[in-house]
Homo-oligomer: A and B are copies of this chain.
Amino acid sequence: MALTEFSLIKQFFADATQKRQDVIVDIGDDCAVLSCPEDSNIAISIDTLVSGIHFFADVDPYTLGHKSLAVGLSDLAAMGATPAWFTLALTLPELNENWLSAFAEGMATLAAEHDIQLVGGDTTKGPLSISIQVHGLVRKGAQLQRSQAKSSDKIYITGTLGDAGAALQKRLASWQPEILSEADWSFLTKRLQQPTPRLAISQKVLPYVNAAIDISDGLLADLGHILTASGKGAKINLDAIPLSPSLKKIDRKRALELALSSGDDYELCFTVPAEHVPAIKALNLDIQQIGEITDEQQIVLLNENGQPSLLDITTKGYDHFA
């Protein structure tokens, strides 16, 4: 890393996040050196956001800083890990101090909420893209894996689904039902641009969960990963899928399609054995039981009378190369 680049990272990012006791060597050496507690393993995930693919080039840099980190934190939540450290590889077309300052602030604000420290990075010149690797700690043996869903497990999701997808449709397809107010669009846009990583819920349900994933590509696609990895299927009650007050205003079929197939909500989907359902209920969390795991390796969507739905699912999540 050349001197100016190093100074750049140092200037905008090095002191943006709080200092943790387990960081032995911080930003500014060939490597960061990190200490892992003896009772824990390290969970890591890397994600890249590319301008024009994952975000619009004119996006507010504060929200971009938030989202870039939120995506990784959501992976830690899905694994049952608590956040510890992250690295940032930032490729920028030019040095724009206002942009960098806002980007760093959005990232740092979310980092402070979750006690995660920036410990290294690389800054290069090129088309705008952001790679962040998050590192979390998970008690040995306690990690939540996609492959551990068992038959008759109840399927839960956090929050509401389809909100981010609605905001994206507005921008991409100029889809803008008149019934939605400015306040609705403001809410939906915030859901797209500043998703909430469900770390608090993840830590509370951790002892009761068999399998988990975060919903970045749509419920059907991501639940599909659990089912494939576990060799199982699922029944989903469409009426149980939680929709935000904003999404409830639009055509129900369209709202359900967004909830099932659009990505970027970064809610969690997890499965819980029937015997732990009372314990889960007692936690009083913003979660919803939407169905259960089955032996047949397919997803069956049930409408209000318990009959298979004829809902036409045309997309199954986002694929860059399709």
Contacts and interface: CB of A to CB of B under 8 A. Distances in A.
Interface in A131-160: 131, 133, 135-136, 138, 140, 143, 145-147
Interface in A2-57: 2-6, 8, 24-25, 28-36, 38, 41-54
A206 to B, nearest CB: 14
Contacts of A28: 146, 229
B30 A45 contact: yes
A292 interface: no
A87 B46 contact: yes
Contacts of A49: 124
Contact of A25 (B24, B33, B35, B145): B145
B127 A54 contact: no
A32 B318 CA distance: 22
Contact of A131 (B2, B76, B78, B89): B89
**Contact-size category for A:** 35 or more
A217 interface: yes
Contact of A31 (B6, B81, B119): B81
A31 B4 contact: no
Contacts of A254: none
Contacts of A8: 321
A122 B48 contact: yes
B2 A91 contact: no
12 contacts: A1-B217, A3-B224, A8-B321, A30-B75, A30-B146, A31-B44, A44-B87, A44-B119, A50-B91, A53-B125, A122-B131, A123-B320
Interface of A: 1-6, 8, 24-25, 28-36, 38, 41-54, 75-76, 78-79, 81, 87-89, 91, 95, 119-127, 129, 131, 133, 135-136, 138, 140, 143, 145-147, 212-214, 216-217, 221, 224-225, 229, 316-322
